[in-house]
Amino acid sequence: MTLRRILFACAVMLVLPVPAVAELPVGAKAPIFTTRAALAGKEAGFSLQAALAKGPVVLYFYPKAFTQGCTLEANAFAENMAKFHAAGASVIGMSNDDIATLKRFSQEECRDAFAVGVASPALIRAYDVVRMVDGKATENASRTSYVIAQDGRIAMVHSDADYRHHVHLTLQAVRALQD
């Protein structure tokens, strides 16, 4: 390979997009946390450990409440909550929005069906879902969904900016835990 081709290949690699996240792998122990959350417009606490005592948990991170994709994703989770409950799972959405915003979002877009919690920068880092824009870390989480089995291990992970497959794939993973 000539020097010119090597330099060209290096230049191309510099402009190619790099993965935004390197989410936690299947089988890893999920970081346990507590946080402020909102359900049906009211503030409440959320404890992953307490939720896992009842069954598997769908923990989904989204970038920002009231944006188009995040609103549609919340609507889709809300529409499918009976299926998640039938499979024994609970769902919580996480973003770095403030609690006042999450209270409104829980009512208007989550349709009072599931909780949304405050994802601190430390929690976003712990779950390895830091959203990258133009190669720089933002304060927001990437759109990443985890299914956490009752033993606290990651059973499934899906990271994709397109919200459309998160509900279907997490529900499928929760049902697989029942088998």
Active-site residue numbers? 70
CB distance 167 to 73 below 8 Å: yes
Residue 175: its H or E element: helix 166-178
| Cα–Cα distance measured from residue 34 to residue 23, given in angstroms and rounded to the nearest whole number | 20
Closest CA to 139 of 77, 97, 92, 79: 97
φ, ψ of residue 146 to 5 degrees: the values are: -120, 145
Reduce the DSSP state of residue 156 to 3 states and report it: strand
Q: Are strands 34-39 and 90-95 parallel, antiparallel or unpaired?
A: unpaired
